[in-house]
């Protein structure tokens, strides 16, 4: 079964276990630091990792100088994230040794990575010794007008040791100020920091050979793509815990960044989720047990942090959290009662909402777990039985990071009759469509999908499929952009006789694509209607990941569309914009994000205590004012201090409220049979006759594709070509249209002799003659198409020349081709042999509800314009 793994290497804290108070800390000396060397087992692990990545990874890997430089960059990021240990000359020297990095990858000669890491241990020891001694001496000047560049990942490396020490002093001042701003006394702040730095020194002395090997192998892995990784034996065990949601813990998924333990995500239904306080990107800096034992965990290995946070069901653990960067950094504590991660707490559920008398069902899907599709069907049946027919359904996929690929396919299939859902392409270029083969439909009414930047992987598959079929309108924010599939593989073999355990690897084996041929990788899925968000686009999303695989496209597959969603969007957006303009919560959210980005984009932060206190007071005042305004909008009483707000308080979900309103509008729009002249026409489903040959063509359909459409005299069911004659006349009423039969009998119509204001139906010959002179064909929704008059056939093309239908012929170079019957038959034969051409029914070529009249459109048509009208 294909598994869409979480967004990065991470471990779920689920296991039960015991804990003990930390022994009295012994601060090591410089002589206590280890001189690490590769162990025998690492040769085997290195060889098998390299072979798997090079032979089986989706991305072709050439370990040349350019790739070695990528590995070095990732290596430096892992060992010196904030560029506070190595000087510029030392970094240059590492790059000059790229040949030794290549040997480490290909020949598993690991001597150089270990040499560099041993030096990093010494440099980090010097840094923490400086911190510990300086804070103990108490000689910090917090009145000087100094500034710290808090995020140095894009900065240059510093020139020398003196510059590094100057940076260290500023970092120390910032740590001290953060403690003071979290209501610690100066003495408490110094004691807390001294313990932290001494603990980090102690952990340095305990560094193991496996730690170095893991860092280098992950530098190699993430130089390929961000979702490829190596896991040590201990980390593999922790990762496997994530696959069993019946075990005990807090349900937080963690990863390591620099010397910090960072929350990657919160598992649905977990104790961590139920606190409503933890978020992705939060840093855990300390852990307190129920007996009062406290440990500062900065600099700890991830598996050691896991052991401290996990514990028996029903016991309490307190996490000290740092959130944000620079002047926006806040610190707080969270109490969590360890418990089982209950699957039923994350099951898909429907709640009913109401808007303007319409019943809107909201289906919340937190993850794509086993049998999700069954739960969705049950929920829809339950709600229909209890509430009667609903007017629209909203699928809420916000913060849904994905899950099982088969569940994405099966769940999407509940809303279409049957057909392809997603295309999976492997490293060899083989494309395998994932099909919904069940013709039954759980719900066929108006459908809206709500996404945000944290909707990823399987969420994007479902959203894209429903949108491409014209089945659902998409609202919210652009999704994450993870369009890759990973495989987990243990490095151990059945014939191994090693007493020592080997780890495992995760690597990308495939990419998935939308049925229209486009990828969700990197770009994600864009909504039809954007709504405000509080998610940082610069922090979350595949486009922010180093070495992410690029966006691309492949040939689409045939599928039958439902609605032309594009035709609905302008009016639905107009109505939403009217509401949003007066939505005070949206205004507050927009101000919050503007303020957030303004502060974030300041490259430096003051390490002057007075200025930081003033900044905190300003921030607190702003947050208190906006909090009270939102409380007032909800009819709640104001608070005097931020800490007076109950921990479990939840504000109204303004994004969901607006989505419900959009869904109600969408339901209204689909019930109308015709828009008035000043609105965009509503277009309905159109499909070709799959079982017939093309009339007048003699060319059979390619296997599995719809039949070719007829000649222009029967362009589609219910459509006939016509011409507007008049100086910018609007469409005419039905009774002014000339008799269809009489008009068609005119074989050679003189378009210049017709009376001004008339609309005439054209035969194939007349159409050919007219298009030779006017060269334009327009559909009622206003899209311009060009004609190819060489053969008298009509080719639907966008304004930029892209062929949209009736057939798409996609060549190797992604060009769109349409030829005469003879040329077209030859092209089909050649393309089939090369397996590079796909013929796709154009679902964007719709028909309006049958009506014996010309229909109203926004723009008046100039004299001579060719149009399509209903018969």
Question: What digits encode the pLDDT tens for the residues 577-594?
Answer: 999 999 999 999 999 999
Confidence bin at 833 (pLDDT 50/70/90): very low
Band (pLDDT 50/70/90 cuts) for residue 362 is: very high
> How sure is the predictor about 413, in pLDDT bands with cuts at 50, 70 and 90?
very high
Predicted pLDDT of residue 747: 32
pLDDT mean over 841-864? 31
Global pTM reads: 0.73
Q: How confident is the model at residue 533, as a pLDDT?
A: 94
297 Cβ partners below 8 Å, 6+ apart?
Answer: 199, 261, 284, 285, 286, 287, 304, 305, 308
Task: Name the least confident of 80-89, 241-250, 803-812.
Answer: 803-812
pLDDT of residue 290: 83
d(CA 784, CA 776): 7
User: Which tops the pLDDT comparison, 154 or 810?
Assistant: 154
Q: Taking all residues of the chain, what is their mean pLDDT, rounded to a whole number?
A: 78
Which helix or strand (DSSP H or E) is residue 618 part of?
helix 609-633
E-strand ranges in 195-249 read 229-231, 248-249
Which has the minimum average pLDDT: 387-391, 769-773, 813-817? 813-817
Task: Mean pLDDT check: name the lowest of 128-137, 507-516, 708-717.
Answer: 708-717
Rounded mean pLDDT, 602-629: 94
Q: What is the pLDDT of residue 347?
A: 87
Residue 518's pLDDT is what? 96
Cα–Cα distance for residue pair 83/98, rounded to 1 Å: 19
Sorting pLDDT into bands at 50, 70 and 90, what band is 223?
Answer: very high
- pLDDT of 57 higher than 80: yes
Cα separation of 781 and 768, whole Å? 22
CB 854 within 8 A of CB 731: yes
pLDDT at position 296 is: 85
**Position 421 confidence tier, pLDDT thresholds 50, 70, 90:** very high
- Coil vs helix vs strand at 212: helix
pLDDT confidence of residue 345:
60
How many other CB atoms are found less than 10 A from the CB of residue 669?
20
Burial class (CB in 10 A: 0-12, 13-18, 19+), 90: middle
Distances (CA, A) of 468 to 354, 462, 814: 28, 10, 19
Per-residue pLDDT for 749 more than 50?
no
User: What SS3 state is found at 761?
Assistant: strand
Per-residue pLDDT reduced to its tens digit, 315-343: 888 898 888 776 677 788 888 888 876 65
pLDDT at 239 over 60: yes
Catalytic residues: 457, 468, 482
Residue of higher predicted confidence among 355 and 756: 355
What was the pLDDT predicted at 252? 80
Q: Give the pLDDT score at 300.
A: 84
Residue range 100-132, pLDDT digits in tens = 999 999 999 999 999 999 999 999 999 999 999
Q: Looking at the predicted structure, is the pLDDT value of residue 629 above 90?
A: yes
Choose the most confident range, by mean pLDDT, from 251-265, 739-753, 798-812. Answer: 251-265
Terminal alpha carbon distance of the chain = 50
**pLDDT tier, 866 (very low <50, low <70, confident <90, very high otherwise):** low
Q: Is the separation of the CB atoms in 866 and 766 below 8 Å? A: no
The 10 Å CB-count burial string (b at 16+, else e) for 364-373 is bbbbbbeebb
Rounded average pLDDT over 819-831? 41
% of the chain residues with pLDDT over 70:
72
pLDDT for residue 489 is more than 60:
yes
Give the separation between CA 384 and CA 604, rounded to whole angstroms.
Answer: 56
**What average pLDDT does range 713-722 have in this prediction?**
39
Q: What is the Cα Rg of the chain in Å?
A: 32
Nearest to 104 by CA among 121, 93, 92, 116: 116
Domains and CATH numbers, the chain: 17-228 (no CATH), 247-343 (2.30.42.10), 353-486+514-581 (3.90.226.10), 584-652 (no CATH), 712-870 (no CATH)
Task: Give residue for tokens 């040590």.
Answer: 232
DSSP string, 361-408: EEEE---B-TTHHHHHHHHHHHHHHHH-S-SEEEEE-TT---BBHHHH
Are 512 and 458 in contact by the 8 Å Cβ rule? The answer is no
Tens digits of residue pLDDT in 19-35: 333 445 678 999 999 99
pLDDT for 784 beyond 70: no
CA distances from 509 to 226, 486, 491, 858 (A): 13, 6, 16, 49
pLDDT at 324: 79
Give the residue with greater pLDDT, 541 vs 301.
541
Q: What local confidence, expressed as pLDDT, does residue 21 receive? A: 37
> Residue 868 pLDDT more than 60?
no
Q: Which of 312-316, 442-446, 810-814 has the lowest mean pLDDT?
A: 810-814
162-182 pLDDT per residue, tens? 999 999 999 999 999 999 998
Query: So what's the pLDDT on residue 301?
Result: 80
């Amino acid at each position: 079964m294909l598994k869409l793994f979480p967004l990065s290497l991470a471990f779920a804290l689920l296991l039960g276990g015991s804990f003990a108070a930390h022994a009295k800390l012994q601060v090591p000396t410089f002589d206590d630091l280890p001189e690490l060397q590769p162990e025998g087992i690492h040769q085997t692990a290195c060889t098998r990792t390299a072979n798997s990545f090079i032979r089986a990874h989706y991305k072709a890997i050439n370990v040349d100088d350019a790739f070695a430089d990528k590995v070095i960059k990732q290596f430096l990021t892992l060992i010196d994230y904030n560029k506070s240990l190595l000087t510029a000359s030392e970094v240059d020297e590492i790059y000059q040794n790229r040949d030794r990095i290549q040997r480490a990858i290909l020949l598993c000669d690991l001597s150089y990575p270990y040499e560099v890491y041993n030096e990093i241990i010494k440099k980090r020891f010097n840094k923490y010794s400086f911190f510990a001694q300086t804070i103990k001496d108490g000689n910090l000047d917090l009145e000087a007008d100094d500034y710290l560049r808090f995020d140095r990942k894009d900065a240059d490396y510093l020139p020398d040791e003196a510059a590094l020490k100057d940076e260290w002093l500023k970092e120390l001042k910032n740590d001290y100020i953060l403690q003071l701003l979290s209501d610690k006394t100066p003495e408490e702040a110094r004691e807390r920091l001294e313990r932290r730095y001494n603990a980090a020194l102690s952990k340095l002395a305990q560094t193991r050979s496996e730690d170095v090997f893991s860092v280098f192998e992950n530098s190699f892995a993430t130089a390929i793509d961000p979702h490829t990784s190596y896991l040590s034996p201990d980390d593999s065990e922790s990762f496997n815990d994530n696959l069993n949601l019946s075990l005990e813990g807090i349900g937080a998924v963690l990863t390591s960044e620099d010397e910090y333990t960072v929350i990657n995500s919160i598992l649905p239904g977990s104790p961590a989720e139920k606190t409503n306080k933890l978020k992705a990107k939060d840093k855990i800096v300390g852990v307190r047990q129920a007996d009062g034992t406290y440990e500062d965990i900065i600099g700890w290995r991830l598996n050691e942090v896991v052991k401290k946070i996990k514990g028996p069901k029903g016991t309490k653990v307190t996490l000290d959290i740092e959130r944000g960067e620079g002047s926006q950094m806040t610190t707080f504590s969270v109490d969590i009662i360890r418990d089982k991660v209950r699957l039923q707490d994350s099951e898909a559920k429907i709640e009913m909402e109401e808007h303007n008398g319409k019943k809107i069902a909201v289906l919340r899907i937190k993850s794509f777990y086993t049998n999700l599709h069954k739960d969705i069907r049950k929920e829809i049946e339950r709600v229909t039985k209890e509430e009667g027919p609903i007017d629209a359904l909203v699928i809420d996929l916000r913060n849904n990071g994905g899950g099982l690929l088969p569940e994405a396919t099966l769940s999407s299939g509940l809303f279409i009759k049957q057909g392809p859902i997603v295309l999976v392409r492997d490293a060899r270029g083989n494309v395998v469509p994932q099909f919904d083969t069940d013709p039954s439909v759980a719900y066929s009414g108006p459908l809206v999908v709500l996404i945000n930047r944290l909707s990823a992987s399987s969420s994007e598959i479902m959203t894209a499929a429903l949108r491409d079929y014209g089945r659902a309108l998409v609202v919210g924010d652009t999704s994450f952009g993870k369009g890759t599939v990973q495989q987990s593989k243990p490095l151990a073999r059945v014939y191994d006789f090693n007493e020592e355990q080997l780890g495992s690897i995760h690597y990308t084996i495939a990419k998935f694509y939308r049925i229209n041929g486009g990828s969700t990788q990197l770009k994600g899925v864009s909504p039809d209607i954007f709504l405000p968000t509080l998610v940082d686009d610069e922090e979350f999303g595949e486009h922010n990941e180093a070495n992410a695989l690029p966006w691309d496209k492949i040939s689409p597959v045939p599928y039958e569309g439902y609605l032309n969603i594009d035709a609905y969007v302008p009016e639905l957006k107009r109505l939403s914009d009217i509401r949003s303009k007066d939505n005070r919560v949206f205004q507050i959210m927009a101000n919050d994000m503007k303020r957030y980005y303004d502060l974030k984009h300041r490259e430096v932060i003051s390490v002057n205590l007075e200025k930081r206190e003033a900044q905190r007071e300003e921030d607190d005042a702003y947050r208190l004012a906006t909090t009270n305004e939102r409380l007032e909008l909800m009819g709640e009483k104001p608070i005097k201090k931020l800490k007076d707000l109950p921990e479990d308080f939840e504000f109204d979900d303004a994004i969901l409220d607006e989505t419900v309103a959009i869904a109600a509008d969408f339901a209204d729009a689909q019930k109308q049979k015709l828009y008035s002249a000043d609105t965009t026409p509503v277009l309905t489903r159109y499909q070709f006759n799959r079982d017939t040959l093309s009339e007048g063509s003699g060319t059979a359909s390619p296997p599995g594709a719809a039949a070719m459409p007829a000649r222009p005299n029967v362009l589609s069911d219910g459509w006939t070509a016509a011409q507007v004659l008049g100086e910018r006349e609007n469409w005419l009423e039905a009774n002014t249209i000339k008799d269809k039969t009489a008009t068609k009998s005119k074989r050679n119509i003189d378009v210049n002799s017709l009376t001004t204001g008339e609309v005439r139906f054209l035969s194939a010959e007349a159409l050919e003659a007219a298009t030779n002179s006017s060269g334009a064909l327009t559909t009622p929704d206003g899209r311009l198409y060009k004609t190819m008059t060489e053969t008298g056939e009509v080719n639907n093309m966008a304004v930029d020349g892209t062929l949209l239908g009736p057939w798409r012929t996609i060549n190797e170079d992604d060009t769109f081709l349409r030829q005469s019957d003879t040329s077209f038959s030859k092209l089909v034969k050649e393309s089939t042999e090369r397996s590079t051409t796909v013929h796709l029914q154009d679902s964007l070529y719709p028909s309006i509800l049958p009506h014996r009249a010309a229909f109203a459109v926004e723009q008046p048509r100039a004299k001579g314009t060719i149009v399509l009208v209903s018969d």
